Structure 1
Amino acid sequence: MTSPFHVDIQNSKAPFMRSEKRPLPQKTIGVLGGMSNQATSEYYRLLNRKLNDRLDGWDNGEIVIVSVNFGNIEYFVRNDRWDEAHAYLSDKVDRLERAGADVVICVSNTMHRVMEPIMAERTTPFIHITDATGNAIRKAGTSRVGLLGTMPVMKSPELRGRYQEGFGVEIVTPTQADMEIVDRIIFNELVRGELRTDSKREYLRVVSELRERGAEGVILGCTEIFLLMAQQDLPGFPVFDTTELHVQAAVDFALE
C-alpha cells in the first residue's frame, strides 16, 4: 500500500500528498555551518525553499545548525593545520548528533577534507558535496570540467580522484596565478558578503581560459561562488553549483 507520505524523488517538484497526520514525518537535517556565515544562511534559505516546494502549504524543514567560528577555519586552512581542524569539527559534529540530526551536511567544500574521515567513524549518514555534484555532472553527460574553489580544493588530489574514480569526470584547474586570484576573492571578499563587479569579471575570464583548455563545464567548488556568478552568466556552458546540488541532495534524503 502506498504511504500517504510517499514522494517521487526523481521529480524535485513533486509535492508530498497532503495528510492530516501531525507532526509530518521527515528527517532532521544537521547543518555544520559557519564556513562561512554567508554560505550557511544560503543553505538555510535554500533548504527551506526547496522543502516548501515539495511539501507545499506552510511546511518546510526540520533543521539543526551548529555554526563554527570561521576565524578558526581560516587559521587551520592557511596554516595547514588539518589535524586541529579534524578535532575542532569532530566536536561540532558531536553536537549535531546530540541535537538529533538524522543526516549531516557540511557547507564547505574545503572542509570536506576533514569531514570525510570524521563521518567515516560514525553511523549518522553524511552527504558528501562532491557526490551530489558528481552525480549531476554524470547525468549531464559531461566528462571534463573546470573547477573553481579555494586553493586546497583546486589542488586536492583526493578530490580530483573522487570525481575521476566515482563519476568518470576529469578535473581541469586554473593556472597557479589564476588559482591565487580565485582563492583571494573567496577569502577576502565572498566570505564577507562582498560582491564586486571586477571580481566577477576575473572569474569569468578564468572560466573562459578553462573552456579554451577543453573544459565542458565548470564546478563552482566553493559554496559562496554562486553569489557572484551563476548559470545565466555563462549561457550554453554548464555550471555545476555545489551549493544548489548539495541542498537538493539533502532535501531528497530528508523526504525519501
Structure 2
Amino acid sequence: MKTIGLLGGMHWESTAAYYHTINAVVREQIGGVHSAQCLICSVDYHPIRQSLVAGQWGDVAACRLRAAGFSRVGLVGTRQVMEQEFHREPLERLGLTVITSGEEERRWCHELIFRELWCGSPRAPDRKIMRRMLDGMAARGAQVLLVACTALAPHLTRADSPIPLWESDSPHVHEAALVGLEEVPLPE
C-alpha cells in the first residue's frame, strides 16, 4: 500500500471527513482492520484565503458526474467558484451544463461562507435562504448540486436540497484512496 499525502486545514472538518472517506474505501476494498497509510499536513487557511489560490479540482469531479449520468450541474461555493472560468471550464469541457444562482444569491453565499461557516454552523435563517437558493438551481434544471467549498459542504444535508448533493473534493478523496491501494495509476 502506498502512503497518501493529505493537505488539510482548508477547513479542518473537511480534513477529518476526507481521512474518514479514505479509510472507509480501504476497509471496503481490503477489509479486516486495515487502514490507509496517510501523512496529513494541516496548514493555516488564513494566508491562502487572502490570495484565494485556486486548484484544478474539476476534472475528476466532471468525469464522475458524467459517469453517473448527470448533464446539468448546479455549482455552489464562493463567488470565485461560481463565477470564474477555472472552476466551470473542466465541467463544461466534458459536456456538462453549469447552473449557478443569481448574482445577489452568489454574493450572499460568499459572505455566509466567510462570515459564518468558517467559525461554526449556519443560523436557521441562513439555512432557509440556502435551501431557497438550492431549490432555485434545481428549478432551473440542475440534476445535481456540486458543492465546491470545504467550509459549506459539512453543513449541507439531503434535507437541504431537492436533488443530490456532491462534494467536489469527494471524487478526489476516493481516487486518492484507490491510488494508495495501487488499484489505479497516478494521474500524469
TM-score by length of 2: 0.86
The within-5 A match list for 1:120-131 is: 129-131=57-59
**1:244 paired residue among 156, 170, 173:** 170
Q: Which runs of 5+ in 2 are unaligned?
A: 184-188
Structure 2 SS opposite 1:64: strand
Q: Which residue of 2 aligns with 1:71?
A: 46
Q: Which has the higher contact order (CA 8 A, sep 6+)?
A: 2
Structure 1 SS opposite 2:51: helix
Correspondence 1:254 to 2:180: yes
1:190-237: CA deviation from partner (whole Å, max 9, x where unpaired): 2333243332222211011112222222111112333211335435x2
Aligned residues of 2:8 and 2:43 also touching (Cα < 8 A): yes
Larger radius of gyration: 1
Correspondence 1:35 to 2:10: yes
Q: Which residue of 1 aligns with 2:153?
A: 226
The one-letter code sitting in structure 1 at the alignment partner of 2:16 is S
Distance 1:180 1:234 in 2: 20
Distance 1:52 1:193 in 2: 31
Structure 2 SS opposite 1:168: coil
TM-score by length of 1: 0.65
Structure 1 SS opposite 2:169: helix
Q: Percent identity?
A: 29
1:41-90: CA deviation from partner (whole Å, max 9, x where unpaired): 2212222233223222211111112221111112223xxxxxxx5xxxxx
Q: Which residue of 2 aligns with 1:99?
A: none
Distance 1:223 1:169 in 2: 22
Q: Give the C-alpha shift of residue 133 in structure 1.
A: 1.5
After superposition, the Cα gap between the structure-2 partners of 1:192 and 1:41, relative to the gap in structure 1 and judged at 3 Å, is farther
Distance 1:76 1:28 in 2: 30
Q: Which residue of 1 aligns with 2:141?
A: 214
Distance 2:132 2:173 in 1: 28
Distance 2:157 2:171 in 1: 13
Q: What is the RMSD computed on CA atoms of the aligned residues?
A: 1.9
Q: Which residue of 2 aligns with 1:48?
A: 23
After superposition, the Cα gap between the structure-2 partners of 1:188 and 1:50, relative to the gap in structure 1 and judged at 3 Å, is farther
Q: Which runs of 5+ in 1 are unaligned?
A: 1-25, 78-84, 86-110, 117-128
1:116-144: CA deviation from partner (whole Å, max 9, x where unpaired): 4xxxxxxxxxxxx3223212210222211
Structure 2 SS opposite 1:174: coil
Aligned residues of 1:136 and 1:240 also touching (Cα < 8 A): no
Q: Which residue of 2 aligns with 1:197?
A: 124
Aligned residues of 1:146 and 1:219 also touching (Cα < 8 A): yes
